[in-house]
């Protein structure tokens, strides 16, 4: 994924002040990493230093140290950094020869390696602050007087491979965050707290949505009744929209013989992500990591004419992929998941329209789920690829055209496509401003060839159809995780597992409460009644903590006039609402997919 590009994209041609501010922050953070390195070298004079760039919201520096760092070390480093900053030391730049630089960094193997990697002819510059000199392109602030000792915080220590390559030495990376002033730091730390509060793993437990079970295997998700209700609401909507959008839906098996995966090529290039085969009747069967080969078999089940195309085939297909143990993360990175997959098969003439259609369709669904801040990333031909240059160019053109037609901002990821075709990825921004890569729309010049897919064209000749893979939400597990965090567990009414709870003010009104709950259920509203022996206040508190959108308090008055007293999750109250009016208005809110 093109991170280089993301930076360029984050700071588009906006008001100049913004860009300037970003540059300032970048220099500030980068300078902070040098100050930190200086502090670390005070403690460990023999440390090997690697790299220390500015990153989003902060900075890091990688070191090879004689021992592992502890939280106490971070405090020590922090106070040393504060001293260095208080010294108002200048950052001094010096352009030197390679020979001179090599002398300065004698014994610093990573710096020497970096130095040797600088292209011949490029300037070699050193920056010195305090006792610390680094091989560095800059830029930096002119002096530590420009750094605010109260506006940074060291956050964590983590292992990181030299140059990100697991064959290399593992270094210790210290992450920090730095801002222009203490207020910005405080806001950022508050943001981190908010992120923690919304963590889908925490909310998943609190709201009883899902679990995992180490004794039964990590990375495998168990959907509890409340989580399953949400998933069903998502799936119902998804199926309806796909049907309306001209898709057919398929069901395919979960395993297939090795022939299938040899033909598709997965055993060759995807093997390390596949579960080991199981032997049945002397054949190897593999659990599917992808749905595409199955859809292709259905395509090939009969002759296809150009009149049959385009075909749009969707499936909520559950796949299993081996992910390395260290990368599993809640619902966001799992080993078994259900893709909301689709494959489009069309003629070359239909390509543009199909691409535009699938993009438009995706955006419309995202909107219904409450996401409208969406960016596209267009990935082009990598070095190793299949398919002709002409195919690639045409496909990329049509992707670009579709993005333009939808007025999406996008960024190119040159060379970032899969070997089998270019793609558009959509990243959505959630309520906390975080980007998540969800939708992917990929051309495939490989599989139609491998499976020898054909259609008969106008001229009676057999031709190769175009194939497009598409996952819209990505996977239901991951999407659900993002959804939980986006809404902080307070789902819009149409997705809420319990849409309304009826709360009698006293045991005497349990009969009427049950009657109201039944009426709501009959009207298609997911309603429950709280007949526990808790006090009314406790029931309201529980419902509030469960983030149930509507609480219906009923007592004598309500029973007499067939009404409910309405308390919404946001605290709004309305007494004496006729039951039927409430039902009508909730149905309206559900139909419009309103937040509340």
Partner RNA sequence: GCCAGAAUAGCUCAGUGGUAGAGCAGCUCACUCGUAAUGAGCAGGUCCUCGGUUCAAGUCCGAGUUCUGGCUCCA
Say which of 62, 134, 340, 341 is annotated catalytic: 341
Please provide the size of the chain in residues. Answer: 596
Position 271 contacts RNA (CB under 7 A): no
Contact call for residue 140 and RNA (CB under 7 A): no
Which one of residues 12, 182, 218, 524 is an interface residue with RNA (CB under 7 A)?
218
Pairing outcome for strands 500-504 and 527-529: parallel
Q: Among 288, 397, 387, which Cα is nearest to 335's?
A: 288
- 107, 225, 268, 326: which one binds RNA (CB under 7 A): 326
Minimum distance, C-beta of residue 332 to RNA, in the bound complex (Å): 9
Q: Which residues 500-539 are close enough to bind RNA by CB under 7 A? A: 505-508, 532-538
* 386 versus 596: smaller Cβ distance to RNA: 596
**Is residue 571 part of the contact set for RNA (CB under 7 A)?**
yes
Contact 331, 475 (CB under 8 A): no
Among 328, 386, 490, 595, binds RNA (CB under 7 A): 328
Nearer to RNA, 135 or 233 (CB): 135
Residue 109 annotated among the catalytic residues of the structure: no
- 97 lines the binding site for RNA (CB under 7 A): no
46 versus 215: smaller Cβ distance to RNA: 215
Indicate whether 316 belongs to the interface with RNA (CB under 7 A). Answer: no
Q: Any idea of the CA torsion for 468, 474, 476, 477, to the nearest 10 degrees?
A: 140
The answer for residues whose C-beta is within 8 angstroms of residue 127's C-beta and 6 or more apart is 34, 91, 92, 93, 94, 133, 134, 136, 138, 140
Cβ-based nearer residue to RNA, 238 or 377: 377
CB of 275 to RNA, least distance (A): 14
Which parts of 451-596 fold into alpha helices (H)? 476-487, 510-522, 536-545, 556-561, 579-591
Q: For 318, phi and psi rounded to 5 degrees? A: -85, 125
Is residue 423 annotated as part of the catalytic site, yes or no?
Answer: yes
Tokens of 293: 């080969």
Question: Helix, strand, or coil here: 288?
Answer: coil
The nearest distance, CB 243 to RNA, in angstroms, is 36
From the candidates 80, 312, 423, 567, give the one annotated as an active-site residue. 423
Q: Is 486 marked active-site? A: no
Contact between 205 and RNA by CB under 7 A: the answer reads: yes
415-474 positions binding RNA, by CB under 7 A? none
Q: Name the E strands within 347-465.
A: 374-379, 410-413, 423-429, 435-444, 455-456, 462-463
Question: Tokens 């395993």 sit at which residue?
Answer: 255
Of residues 31 through 60, those in contact with RNA by CB under 7 A are 51-56
Of the residues 427, 469, 470, 569, which is catalytic?
469
Residue 165 contacts RNA per CB under 7 A: yes
Question: From residue 23, how far is each of 8, 10, 55, 56, 359 by CA, in Å?
Answer: 12, 12, 12, 12, 34
Residue 106 touching RNA (CB under 7 A): no
Is residue 374 within 8 A of residue 366, CB to CB? The reply is yes
Minimum CB distance to RNA smaller for 17 or for 560 = 560
Q: Clarify whether 367 is annotated catalytic.
A: no
529 has catalytic annotation: no
Catalytic residue among 111, 343, 486, 547: 343
**Residue from 21, 300, 557, 592 that binds RNA (CB under 7 A)?**
557
Measured between its terminal Cα atoms, the distance across the chain in Å is: 37
Longest CA pairwise span in the chain (Å): 94
Among 24, 212, 258, 273, binds RNA (CB under 7 A): 212
469 is catalytic: yes
Catalytically active residues, by annotation: 292, 321, 339, 341, 343, 423, 469
């Amino acid at each position: 994924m093109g991170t280089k590009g993301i930076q360029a994209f984050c700071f588009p041609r906006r008001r100049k002040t913004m860009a300037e501010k970003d540059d300032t922050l970048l220099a500030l953070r980068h300078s902070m990493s040098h100050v930190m390195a200086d502090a670390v070298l005070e403690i460990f004079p023999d440390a090997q230093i690697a790299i220390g760039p500015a990153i989003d919201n902060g900075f890091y520096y990688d070191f090879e140290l004689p021992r592992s760092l502890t939280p106490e070390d971070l405090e020590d480093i922090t106070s040393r950094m504060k001293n260095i900053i208080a010294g108002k030391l200048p950052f001094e730049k010096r352009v030197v020869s390679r020979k001179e630089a090599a002398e300065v960094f004698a014994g610093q193997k990573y710096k020497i390696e970096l130095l040797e990697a600088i292209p011949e002819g490029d300037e070699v510059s050193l920056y010195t602050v305090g006792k610390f000199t680094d091989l560095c392109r800059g830029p930096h602030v002119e002096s530590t007087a420009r750094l605010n000792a109260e506006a940074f915080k060291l956050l964590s220590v983590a292992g990181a491979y030299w140059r990100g390559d697991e064959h290399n030495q593992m270094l210790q990376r210290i992450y920090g965050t730095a801002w222009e002033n203490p207020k910005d730091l405080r806001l950022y730390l508050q943001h981190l707290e908010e992120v923690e509060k919304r963590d889908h793993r925490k909310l998943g437990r609190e709201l009883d949505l899902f679990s995992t079970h180490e004794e039964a295997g990590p990375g495998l998700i168990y959907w509890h009744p409340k989580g399953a209700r949400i998933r069903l609401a998502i799936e119902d909507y998804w199926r309806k929209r796909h049907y309306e959008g001209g898709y057919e839906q398929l069901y395919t098996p979960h395993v297939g013989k090795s022939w299938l995966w040899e033909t598709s090529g997965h055993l060759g290039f995807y093997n390390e992500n596949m579960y080991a085969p199981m032997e049945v009747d002397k054949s190897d069967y593999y659990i599917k990591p992808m749905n595409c080969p199955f859809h292709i078999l259905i395509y090939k089940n009969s002759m296809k004419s150009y009149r049959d195309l385009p075909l749009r085939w969707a499936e909520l297909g559950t796949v299993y992929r081996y992910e390395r143990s260290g990368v599993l993360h809640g619902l966001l990175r799992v080993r078994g998941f259900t893709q909301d997959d689709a494959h489009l098969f069309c003629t070359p003439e239909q390509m543009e329209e199909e691409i535009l259609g699938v993009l438009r369709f995706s955006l419309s669904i995202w909107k219904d789920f409450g996401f409208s801040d969406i960016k596209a990333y267009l990935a082009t031909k990598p070095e190793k690829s299949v398919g002709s240059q002409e195919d690639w160019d045409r496909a990329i053109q049509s992707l670009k055209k579709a993005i333009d037609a939808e007025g999406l901002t996008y960024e190119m990821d040159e060379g970032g496509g899969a070997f089998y075709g270019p793609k558009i990825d959509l990243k959505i921004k959630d309520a906390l401003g975080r980007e998540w890569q969800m939708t992917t729309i990929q051309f495939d010049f490989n599989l139609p060839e491998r499976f020898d897919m054909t259609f008969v064209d106008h001229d009676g000749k057999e031709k190769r159809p175009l194939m497009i893979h598409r996952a819209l939400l990505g996977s239901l597990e991951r999407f659900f995780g993002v959804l939980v965090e986006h809404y902080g567990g307070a789902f819009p009414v149409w997705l809420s597992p319990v849409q309304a709870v009826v709360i009698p003010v006293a045991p005497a009104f349990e009969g009427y409460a049950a009657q109201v709950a039944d009426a709501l259920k009959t009207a298609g509203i997911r309603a429950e009644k709280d007949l526990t022996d808790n006090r009314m206040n406790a029931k309201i508190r529980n419902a509030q903590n469960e983030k149930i959108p509507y609480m219906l308090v009923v007592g004598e008055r309500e029973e007499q006039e067939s009404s409910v007293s309405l308390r919404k999750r946001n605290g709004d109250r309305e007494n004496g609402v006729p039951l039927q009016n409430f039902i009508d208005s909730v149905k309206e809110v559900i139909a419009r997919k309103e937040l509340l």
